[in-house]
Amino acid sequence: MSPSQAANDPSKLAFSVTHRSVLAIAIPMTLGYLSTPLLGVVDMAVIGRLGDAALLGGIALGGIIFDLVFTTFNFLRAGTTGLTAQALGAKHDEEIKATLLRALLIALAGGLLVILLQSPIREAGQWFLGGSAEVQSATARYFDVRVLSAPFLLANYVILGWFIGLGRAGTGLLLQLFLNGLNIALSVWFVVGLNWSVEGVAFATVLSEIATTVLGLVLVLATVGRGSWPKPAVIFNRRLLIRMMALNRDIMIRSFALLYAYAFFMARSADQGDTVLAANAVLEKFIMVSGYFLDGLATSAEQLAGRSVGAKHRPAFDRTLKLTAIWSFAMAFLLSAVFYLFGPAMIDFMTTAPDVRAIGNTYLIWAVLAPLLGVLAFQMDGIYIGATWSDTMRNMMLLSLAVYIAAYYALFPLMGNHGLWLALGLFLGLRGITLLAACRGRADRTFAEA
């Protein structure tokens, strides 16, 4: 159906949002996201078998550098999901394909740029993170191999985002399990079987990203079928390229602000000494675990909100807002209950140091509350990404960050580490509240324009 035909008969674009349609995306993507931390555990375990602490430090620091670099390109997954879902809602088949091709071109350019700048990126990261000469050497060896995966990793961001935008969460799960499963198998083979050290872990990542890109493109071609592809004039449409770049810019700023918020938390934890830093780092893992579970529902919100905007169908949007909120809060309450009941045992599992355990239990209540404080922010991020309201999402993030930092300097002298945790809680909660407050107005304008 052409866009003009769809506009003349909006009823052909209407669709229903149900509990089943929310969970059909949320459950597979949650399982896919949960496979990612397992890969990190296996990489550390296989390198740990070599008995050299410097090698463990090398892949840990190298991983941090890559996390920082690729945070810049997180928009490729999220932005592609929102734009694809909107094209799907409008039943604009040509724009669905064009969105994929535009994003793949940006991924290719970004990946090649990372490779070209690998030396200054690595040196800046090593200077900032420090470490012994042995750790620095292991970091360089790991980085110089893994950096070759950059174009393929970014292409996989795009392909995953595109399939999520189409509502094909099962395909997204397949790609995530294939990527992480192959990576785990190759890491074990290269390091344990062939004794390749940190280069083995890095090569496993490179080969896994390449193989997943190939699989993803095969699945793309199978999904598209034998239909024609957009012409260059459509792909390089100036207005749509500018729209994509503006969306990507805003999501990138939002991602950096979020990264800075957690970096600020860890830096202020370090100011209080090694024991408090270790305890806060252990409790911060509770928040990370919450993120993996809540991200699946946020992804569902992205796809359904984007499709609603593309279809110009307000009832579907309102239903998406309601149902993803219900399931997100249900998941948050479940996570908080698990942390409350099993938090002490989880702390004991992650550290054997008695003083770290004691301090961790003192501040455990903040980790218990974190899912409830942050759940609305996760859900609303999904709504805003799908609707491509990236400017408001960016602005509310920066506002919340400013309040968080001001709150820390006001609360820490009075409450110590409790003040730091309270400031972080305010940041998590304020993000969701401000986005929710702006949501109805943005929706009214979006659907009125439609």
Mean pLDDT of 172-192: 90
pLDDT attached to residue 436:
97
pLDDT attached to residue 23:
94
Mean pLDDT of 226-236: 87
9-18, 135-144, 336-345: segment of lowest average pLDDT: 9-18
105-114, 240-249, 336-345: segment of lowest average pLDDT: 240-249
Q: How confident is the model at residue 41 (pLDDT cuts 50, 70, 90)?
A: low
Rounded to whole angstroms, the Cα distance separating 148 from 115 reads: 7
| Contacts with 2 (C-beta within 8 Å, 6 or more apart), sequence order | 92
Q: Which carries the bigger pLDDT value, residue 321 or residue 240?
A: 321
Rounded to whole angstroms, the Cα distance separating 73 from 88 reads: 23
Q: Does residue 122 come out as left (phi exceeding 0), alpha (psi in the -120 to 50 range) or beta?
A: alpha
pLDDT attached to residue 192:
83
Sign, CA dihedral 261-263-266-271, equals negative
Mean pLDDT of 107-117: 94
Q: How confident is the model at residue 243 (pLDDT cuts 50, 70, 90)?
A: confident
pLDDT attached to residue 380:
96
Return phi, psi of residue 161, to 5°: -60, -35
166-180, 249-263, 403-417: segment of lowest average pLDDT: 249-263
Q: Is the predicted pLDDT of residue 6 greater than 60, yes or no?
A: no
pLDDT attached to residue 168:
94
Closest CA to 316 of 17, 84, 91, 6: 17
pLDDT attached to residue 4:
47
pLDDT attached to residue 173:
92
Q: Is the predicted pLDDT of residue 210 greater than 50, yes or no?
A: yes
In sequence order, which ranges of 312-416 are alpha helices (DSSP H)? 314-350, 354-362, 364-387, 390-415
Rounded to whole angstroms, the Cα distance separating 212 from 298 reads: 24
Mean per-residue pLDDT over the chain, rounded? 88
Q: Is the predicted pLDDT of residue 336 greater than 50, yes or no?
A: yes
The answer to whether 311 and 15 have CB atoms below 8 angstroms apart is yes
Rounded to whole angstroms, the Cα distance separating 17 from 330 reads: 18
Helix, strand, coil share (%) of the chain residues, nearest 5: 90, 0, 10
27-31, 214-218, 407-411: segment of lowest average pLDDT: 27-31
β strands within 109-172, DSSP E = none
